[in-house]
Structure 1
Amino acid sequence: MTTAIYKSFEADCSRVLEDRSWELEDRSRVLEDRSWELEDCCWELEDRSWELEDRSWELEDRSWELEDRSWELEDRSWELEDRSRVLEDCSWELEDRSREPDVNTILTVSKICLTVLTVLASLMASAR
């Protein structure tokens, strides 16, 4: 009877060990699947890291372009300010010139004065 109990115990242990073996094999497959999933995630993260680095370089390039454009706009602003001063100077010069009599006005006034002097001279000559 001891042998029968021993054989029954041995069979039970064998079944338990076989069940545990299958469980461990299943867990091993699950762990292997998760390992592949993690590896895939790592590759995705690395890809994203490269994408972010590329984007970072693009943003840095854009930043330099914007800075260059800013300098160009500042230069243009100085040019416009200089032109504004030139226009203001021209405006003042035109205003000054508008206050001065023009040549035609001077000639007309001179002719009138000459005519008046001629009339006065002839009146003085006839009065003698």
Structure 2
Amino acid sequence: MSEHTLNRHALAILDAEPTAERIDHYRKPFMVLWAAVQEASAEIMDEYGLSQDLAQLWVAEQLRQVTDSLVDRLAEKALQHGASKSNVARAAGASPANATRRFPRLKENHPAGRTLIDDVLDELE
């Protein structure tokens, strides 16, 4: 079997798992993320006087934007390492037929400019 076929099969198995089992795969990272949202929002509340609900929403939205950028970067990386566009789309929960619509940067001859994740990673150095 080719790597493409093996990956497609594995993604199909993951997609068919019951919700509780799927959540088990990312429960721990989510709990870390939730704790981080609470901690960061507490700082926003203290510094800016924003309500807890709005501070948590603001922090979570910033993280969502960075995470979206990270997903785009990981899609590019997977393609560069030989994954097919259809499996990249499947891994992201998108239709294989819509791979380049979901990930415009996967189009051939698309300039690989900076993304939000680049700015965030630069700040961590």
Query: TM-score of the superposition, structure 1-length normalised?
Result: 0.25
Name which one, 1 or 2, has greater alpha-carbon Rg: 1
Higher helix fraction (1 or 2): 1
Which of 1 and 2 has higher RCO (CA within 8 Å, sep 6+)? 2
Query: TM-score of the superposition, structure 2-length normalised?
Result: 0.26
